[in-house]
C-alpha cells in the first residue's frame, strides 16, 4: 500500500517535469522567486551575490505506540515486548516532543551555486510508564526525561542543472557534521523502584554522531499564480559513530503545490513520504528495558500531509522579509518493530534576503 503511494508520488514528480518542459517551456512569466513551504530545506537558489538569513522553530510530537502499523497499548508492550537480548520491556514511552530552533544562512557566489549553513538547538522531552518488577502489568510510576543542546550542523551546496522562467532543477549536496552530543544522561525510574541516571536511549540523543551525506535533487515549476515542486533527499551515514552504531539511512520524497492569492500571500499543500532503516550496531551503554534501546525498533515508512501559509513583504521596509507557517500531520505510518506513533509537526519560520 505504501509502495503504491510512493509510485503515485514519483509519477506526480515526473508528470510535472514533463508537462512543464514540453508545454510551458516558452511561456515567459516573471515574478519573485518562488519558495517551497517553510518545512522544506534547500528548495530554492539565490542569484549571484545574494544573502539570505532564516530562523525556523519546529515542534514535533509523538504519542502512543505502534507495532508495525497497529496501535499497541503500554500493557501489551510490557507483557509481550522484548529487548534485543530477549528480556522483557518494563518501561514504555507514552509521548515525546522535540522542539528545534534552526538558524540558517544562504549565499550565492554565482547564479549556478548557492551555499548553505544551518545550526540548530534542540530540546527533547519523553514521558514514560514504568511497570513493576520483571512481569505483569502493575504500574509502578511515571517519569520524564529531558535533553537539550546543539544539534548536528549542516553544510550544503545547491547546484543549478536547469533554470528558465517556468522550471528550475538543482542538485542538493549536503554534509551533516556531528556537533550534537550522543551521550546525554538523565534520571529514570527502573522496574525495581531505583532512580539511576544512565545514558538515554537513541531518540533522546541530539545528533547522529556520524558525518552524513545528504544528496538530493529539487525540481520547481511556476505558472501564473501556481507554484509546485518536488524534492528527493537522502541521508547516508558515512561510518559508525564513536559509540559503535549508526542511525539508519533515510530517503524522503516531498511534493508541494502552492497558490498565490495575492503577491504577499501564498497557501500551500504538501505530501511527504519518508523511508528509514533501523539502527545498525549498538551503543553498549544503552541497555534499558525499554523499546527505544533496541536498534531494531527504528525506521519504517511514513506519509505526512501538510498545509502552509506564507506572508511575503513586497514593499518598503517589509521587502525581502517572509514569515511562514506549515503544519504537517502523519496520515500513515508503518514502523519497524515497536515504536512511538508520529502525530504532527509545526514549523514557523522567518526569512530575510538581501
Ligand atoms: Cu534562501
Q: What is the 3-state secondary structure (H, E, C) of the chain?
A: CHHHHHHHHHHHHHHHHHHHHHCCCCCCCCCCCCCCCCCCCCCCCCCCCCEEEEEEEEEEEEEEEEECCEEECHHHHHHHCECCCCCECCEEEEEEEEEEEEEEEEEEEECCEEEEEEEEEEEEEEEEEEECCCCCCCEEEEEEEEEEEECCEEEEEEEEEEECCCEEEEEEEEEEECCCCCCCECCCCCCCCCCCCCECCHHHCCCCCCCEEEEEEEEEEEECCEEEEEEEEEEEECCCCCCCEECCCEEEEEEEEEEEEECCEEEEEEEEEEEECCCEECCCCCCCCEHHHCCCCCCEEEEEEEEEEEEECCCHHHCCEEEEEEEEEEEEEEECCEEEEEEEEEEEEEEEEC
CA distance 176 to 43: 17
Domains present along the chain, CATH in parentheses: 2-353 (2.40.128.130)
> If you measure from the C-alpha of residue 305 to the centroid of ligand 1, how many angstroms do you get, rounded to a whole number?
23
pLDDT at 11 over 90: no
> If you measure from the C-alpha of residue 36 to the centroid of ligand 1, how many angstroms do you get, rounded to a whole number?
10
In the prediction, which pLDDT does 320 show?
86
In the prediction, which pLDDT does 53 show?
96
> If you measure from the C-alpha of residue 2 to the centroid of ligand 1, how many angstroms do you get, rounded to a whole number?
32
> If you measure from the C-alpha of residue 38 to the centroid of ligand 1, how many angstroms do you get, rounded to a whole number?
11
26 or 199, which is more confident?
Answer: 199
Over range 2-20, report the average pLDDT: 50
> If you measure from the C-alpha of residue 46 to the centroid of ligand 1, how many angstroms do you get, rounded to a whole number?
6
pLDDT at 6 over 60: no
> If you measure from the C-alpha of residue 350 to the centroid of ligand 1, how many angstroms do you get, rounded to a whole number?
11
pLDDT at 9 over 90: no
> If you measure from the C-alpha of residue 238 to the centroid of ligand 1, how many angstroms do you get, rounded to a whole number?
27
pLDDT at 4 over 80: no
pLDDT at 198 over 60: yes
- Which residue has cell 509502495? 3
> If you measure from the C-alpha of residue 212 to the centroid of ligand 1, how many angstroms do you get, rounded to a whole number?
22
> If you measure from the C-alpha of residue 161 to the centroid of ligand 1, how many angstroms do you get, rounded to a whole number?
17
What are 126-184's pLDDT values in tens digits?
999 999 998 889 999 999 999 999 999 999 999 999 999 899 999 999 999 999 999 99
In the prediction, which pLDDT does 87 show?
86
pLDDT at 22 over 80: no
> If you measure from the C-alpha of residue 52 to the centroid of ligand 1, how many angstroms do you get, rounded to a whole number?
5
> If you measure from the C-alpha of residue 83 to the centroid of ligand 1, how many angstroms do you get, rounded to a whole number?
44
> If you measure from the C-alpha of residue 28 to the centroid of ligand 1, how many angstroms do you get, rounded to a whole number?
23
> If you measure from the C-alpha of residue 283 to the centroid of ligand 1, how many angstroms do you get, rounded to a whole number?
38
Over range 3-26, report the average pLDDT: 47
Share the mean pLDDT of the chain. 91
Lowest mean pLDDT among 24-28, 32-36, 217-221, 255-259: 24-28
- Residue 4: CB atoms within 10 A of its CB come to 8
pLDDT at 210 over 60: yes
pLDDT at 15 over 50: no
Quick one: pLDDT band at residue 29, thresholds 50, 70, 90?
very low
> If you measure from the C-alpha of residue 107 to the centroid of ligand 1, how many angstroms do you get, rounded to a whole number?
8
What are 298-332's pLDDT values in tens digits?
999 999 999 999 999 988 888 889 999 999 999 99
> If you measure from the C-alpha of residue 20 to the centroid of ligand 1, how many angstroms do you get, rounded to a whole number?
23
What are 49-94's pLDDT values in tens digits?
999 999 999 999 999 999 999 999 999 999 888 887 888 899 999 9
What are 93-110's pLDDT values in tens digits?
999 999 999 999 999 999
The model's pTM: 0.88
> If you measure from the C-alpha of residue 320 to the centroid of ligand 1, how many angstroms do you get, rounded to a whole number?
11
> If you measure from the C-alpha of residue 104 to the centroid of ligand 1, how many angstroms do you get, rounded to a whole number?
9
> If you measure from the C-alpha of residue 51 to the centroid of ligand 1, how many angstroms do you get, rounded to a whole number?
7
In the prediction, which pLDDT does 319 show?
87
Quick one: pLDDT band at residue 25, thresholds 50, 70, 90?
very low
> If you measure from the C-alpha of residue 105 to the centroid of ligand 1, how many angstroms do you get, rounded to a whole number?
8
> If you measure from the C-alpha of residue 304 to the centroid of ligand 1, how many angstroms do you get, rounded to a whole number?
24
Q: Which residues have their alpha-adjacent CB atom under 5 A from ion ligand 1?
A: 52, 106
Amino acid at each position: 500500500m505504501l509502495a503504491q503511494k510512493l509510485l503515485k508520488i514519483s509519477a506526480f514528480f515526473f508528470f510535472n517535469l514533463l508537462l512543464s518542459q514540453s508545454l510551458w517551456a516558452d511561456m515567459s512569466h516573471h515574478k519573485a522567486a518562488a519558495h517551497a513551504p517553510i518545512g522544506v530545506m534547500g528548495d530554492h537558489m539565490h542569484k549571484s551575490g545574494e544573502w539570505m538569513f532564516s530562523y525556523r522553530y519546529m515542534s514535533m510530537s509523538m504519542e502512543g505506540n505502534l507495532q508495525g502499523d497497529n496501535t499497541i497499548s503500554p500493557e501489551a508492550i510490557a507483557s509481550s515486548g522484548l529487548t534485543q537480548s530477549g528480556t522483557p520491556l518494563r518501561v514504555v514511552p507514552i509521548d515525546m516532543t522535540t522542539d528545534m530552533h534552526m538558524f540558517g544562512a544562504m549565499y550565492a557566489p554565482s547564479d549556478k551555486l548557492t551555499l548553505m549553513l544551518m545550526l540548530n538547538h534542540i530540546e527533547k522531552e519523553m514521558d514514560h510508564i514504568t511497570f513493576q518488577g520483571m512481569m505483569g502489568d502493575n504500574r509502578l510510576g511515571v517519569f520524564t526525561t529531558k535533553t537539550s543542546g546543539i544539534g548536528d550542523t549542516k553544510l550544503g551546496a545547491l547546484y543549478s542543472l536547469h533554470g528558465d522562467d517556468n522550471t528550475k532543477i538543482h542538485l542538493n549536496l549536503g554534509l551533516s557534521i556531528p556537533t550534537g552530543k550522543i551521550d546525554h544522561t538523565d534520571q529514570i525510574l527502573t522496574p525495581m523502584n531505583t532512580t539511576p541516571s544512565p545514558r538515554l536511549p537513541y531518540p533522546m540523543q541530539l545528533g547522529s554522531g556520524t558525518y552524513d551525506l545528504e544528496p538530493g535533487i529539487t525540481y520547481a515549476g511556476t505558472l501564473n499564480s501556481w507554484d509546485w515542486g518536488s524534492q528527493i533527499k537522502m541521508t547516508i551515514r558515512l561510518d559508525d559513530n564513536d559509540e559503535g552504531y549508526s542511525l539508519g539511512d533515510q530517503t524522503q520524497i516531498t511534493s508541494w503545490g502552492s497558490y498565490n492569492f495575492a503577491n504577499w500571500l501564498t497557501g500551500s499543500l504538501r505530501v511527504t513520504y519518508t523511508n528509514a532503516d533501523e539502527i545498525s550496531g549498538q551503543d553498549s551503554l544503552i541497555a534499558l528495558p525499554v523499546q527505544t534501546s533496541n536498534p531494531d525498533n527504528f525506521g519504517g515508512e511514513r506519509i505526512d500531509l501538510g498545509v502552509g501559509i506564507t506572508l511575503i513583504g513586497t514593499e518598503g521596509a517589509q521587502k525581502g522579509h517572509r514569515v511562514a507557517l506549515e503544519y504537517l500531520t502523519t496520515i500513515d505510518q508503518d514502523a519497524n518493530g515497536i515504536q512511538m506513533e508520529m502525530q504532527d509537526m509545526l514549523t514557523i519560520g522567518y526569512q530575510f534576503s538581501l
